[in-house]
Amino acid sequence: MSIVNRAEAIKIIDEWRADQKTIVFTNGCFDIIHRGHVEYLRKAKLFGDILILGLNSDTSVRRLKGESRPYQFEQDRAAILDAMKMVDLVVIFDEDTPLELICELKPDMLVKGGDYDSNSIVGANEVESWGGSVKTIPFLKGYGTSKLVEKILER
């Protein structure tokens, strides 16, 4: 299983770096996995050799999305993401933003969804400060957790 804590992630990433692997980082809640998530992660993986996913913990999701969320527990979300062939490592974080995790892991590239502009991406300045880059990926139209929940509730 590739669901690890921060200390384990740092050790693994050091080994990948020694092998000259390009480390890509993205993050999110990934509360209900849908096709939009899959396409986003597939495209993010194309930017490098290794894709690390920072996953908001249950308490972090609750603070960001409200008391009714998450719909799935962090270990369930992590297991689903870990099963995806494009995700190499899942690291759960408890903060509201992944900034601390990004600074600890020091990825070569930070990737976020198209609803962000490069000036509002948490960790962008830090990644660029050590020579890394920041990319955005447009969302797949018609897909989103909120839309999916609305559709379920309509039935």
- Domain at 44, CATH number: 3.40.50.620
For the chain, where are the E strands, in sequence order?
3-4, 23-28, 50-56, 89-93, 109-113, 133-137
* Residue numbers of the domain that contains 86: 3-154
pLDDT at 152 exceeding the cut of 80: no
Q: Looking at this protein, which amino acid is placed at residue 42? A: R
Give the least confident one: 37-46, 66-75, 134-143: 134-143
Give the total number of structural domains in the chain.
1
Tens-digit pLDDT profile for residues 81-109 = 999 999 999 999 999 999 999 999 999 99
Question: Residue 150: which pLDDT band, with cuts at 50, 70 and 90?
Answer: confident
